[in-house]
Structure 1
Amino acid sequence: MKRYFITGLLIWVPLVITGWVLSLIISTLDQSLRLLPEAVHPQHIFGFAIPGAGAVLTLAMILLTGLLAANFIGQKLVVWSEKILARIPVVNSVYNSVKQVSDTLFSPNGNAFRKALLVQYPREGSWTVAFLTGAPGGDIVNHLKGEHVSVYVPTTPNPTSGFFLMMPVKDVVELDMTVDEALKYIISMGVVAPPPHPRVVTNI
């Protein structure tokens, strides 16, 4: 009975958690329907609420915004709106900080979270998986001896929180592992191991 119960849990737990996460995301995105006038609201037209309509509207708005920003006129509008936000106290500091982080994370040319690393943390001899986020900058460079890299050490099973460290390049090992494989390994607390690769790991 115990074996059958555990087998059932292994089937149902991922399904239930996946459904719960999707339901939470869709219900959150459905809040965007409030931006629509009442006359064109799906519930007003069809007489009942349509789950996921807000998610479709949000994705459409993001794609349309990207399409408009890709041409000359759209780029001018983006620059103009950023200049306006830069003149608003408090808003400018928050917006600029978020924009710098988002540009670093989502830019196709960026290096943030493009490599999985093996580092010794929280003490020597204890190893964990981390992600490359870039290189130290500003006045910090003047106080570091030798070449360093910036790394993010996520916690498990929730990788959205973690620790930001600056470590010598010689102490960092680049893994022949994709970011997705590394995230699965972290979230599963080491249970879901990535497939072996033929290449031997080397220093970054």
Structure 2
Amino acid sequence: MSERTHEHAPTIQDAESAKPRRSVAPRTIRGRVVAGLLLLIPIMVTAVIVRYIYGIALSAGARLLNISTAALNWAFDLKLADRRFDPNNATWYESLIAVVMTLVVLYVLGWLGTNAVGKRVIEFFEGLVERIPMVETLYVAVKRIVQALSGANKPGGEDQTVVLIDFPTDTMKALAFMTNVITDKNTGQRYATVFVPTTPNPTSGYMELVPIERITMTDLTMEAALSMVLSGGASAPSNISLVRGLPSRPNTVLTPPILRTK
């Protein structure tokens, strides 16, 4: 009795895999030039931003170095070199010292802001600044915007500040940062104040008042949301969790503490 060989019947997937694959690589000179440009753009933009930040750190460090030298000469009569530090004509080690000094000062400020004594010192100086007319309004506004965008001073376990709203039409959604919750004392209607950033510059945008029930909560972090804005949505995660309206739990405090005033 002869054995029958059962051959595998060809499927659609087999037929598709048998087709010659077309290369997605650009073949024309123009296509390769564009491909090379697309590879260079992220590197160039990153280099420009890093150079800009380095320039700010170097300039701030130069002033700190000059002030420190003058203070040491005056306090201890050390008679150090009177030559002022010039970032444009500095050697590499002088530039390195200036940048390191800037980082050290930022570290110290961050350390002061996280302990009780440092917080009192910072609050004292903030109180002096807030007593200056016009400066107080600008300082408080900028401080609140920075805190809202960075997610600083959030309550424990509460990180739901990235939301979606119906903007600019009811059939479209826009990414926004919820910054506060206000209540109409006549009707009791609660509204969320949200900031809708623009792409690719998140420092500009729109401030909207949205009814609480029309807010869509997300599980996005501040870092992920800012990355989405900066990249025009290219870095958006594949899946997110959306919940219409704010959580209806008893004893839920809706006003973000980052915006509370004394």
Instruction: Provide the TM-score with structure 1 as the length reference.
Output: 0.75
Change (3 A) 1:125 1:30: same
RMSD: 3.4
Change (3 A) 1:78 1:191: closer
2:18 is matched with none
Distance apart, 1:193 and its partner CA? 3.4
Change (3 A) 1:114 1:19: farther
- Of residues 167, 189, 194 in structure 1, which corresponds to 2:210? 167
Aligned-pair identity (%): 25
2:64 is matched with 35
8 Å Cα contact 2:58-2:98 kept in structure 1:
yes
- Of residues 183, 198, 223 in structure 2, which corresponds to 1:180? 223
| Paired amino acid for 1:67 | W
- Of residues 173, 178, 181 in structure 2, which corresponds to 1:135? 181
2:195 is matched with 152
Larger Rg: 2
2:243 is matched with 202
- Of residues 10, 21, 30 in structure 1, which corresponds to 2:38? 10
User: CA separation in 2, counterparts of 1:53 and 1:61?
Assistant: 12
Structure 2 unaligned residues grouped into runs of 5+: 1-27, 70-79, 246-262
1:67 is matched with 111
- Of residues 20, 30, 51 in structure 2, which corresponds to 1:23? 51
Distance apart, 1:167 and its partner CA? 0.5
Distance apart, 1:17 and its partner CA? 0.8
User: CA separation in 2, counterparts of 1:77 and 1:191?
Assistant: 43
SS of the counterpart of 1:177? coil
User: CA separation in 1, counterparts of 2:49 and 2:244?
Assistant: 38
User: CA separation in 2, counterparts of 1:144 and 1:53?
Assistant: 60
Structure 1 unaligned residues grouped into runs of 5+: none
Aligned residues: 198
Instruction: Provide the TM-score with structure 2 as the length reference.
Output: 0.61
